[in-house]
Amino acid sequence: METTTPVDTPHPLAGVIAPLKIADRCDRCAAQAFVVVQLTADDSSALMFCGHHFHKHEAALRALDPFAVLDDRHKINARPTAGDEPPGEM
């Protein structure tokens, strides 16, 4: 049986919303942000949320029909690796 190595595919929002960094903080409580909601195509409309605050306000945010939502909550409790952030980004 032949095995193949999965090819990394770019995130569907690559180029629309910048990837979250460890230093990015929730706009409500300053915990680490795992979700970015961009209300319009303009970057200045981006809101950052921790998992708790996005969950709490998710229905209302989605009702606004946002331009884009980057949801990285699957990374909560994941251990960062050395390659997660480019040097000097923290």
What pLDDT digit, counting tens, does each position of 12-56 carry? 554 568 889 999 999 999 999 999 999 988 767 899 999 999 999
Q: 36 exposed, middle or buried (CB, 10 Å; 0-12, 13-18, 19+)?
A: buried
DSSP state of 25: B
> Residue 50 falls within a domain, yes or no?
yes
Number of domains in the chain: 1
Residue 27 lies in a domain: no
Nearest to residue 69, comparing CAs of 16, 10, 9?
Answer: 16
Instruction: Assess whether pLDDT exceeds 90 at residue 7.
Output: no
- Segments forming the whole domain that contains residue 43: 35-75
> What's the pTM value of the predicted model, to 2 decimals?
0.71
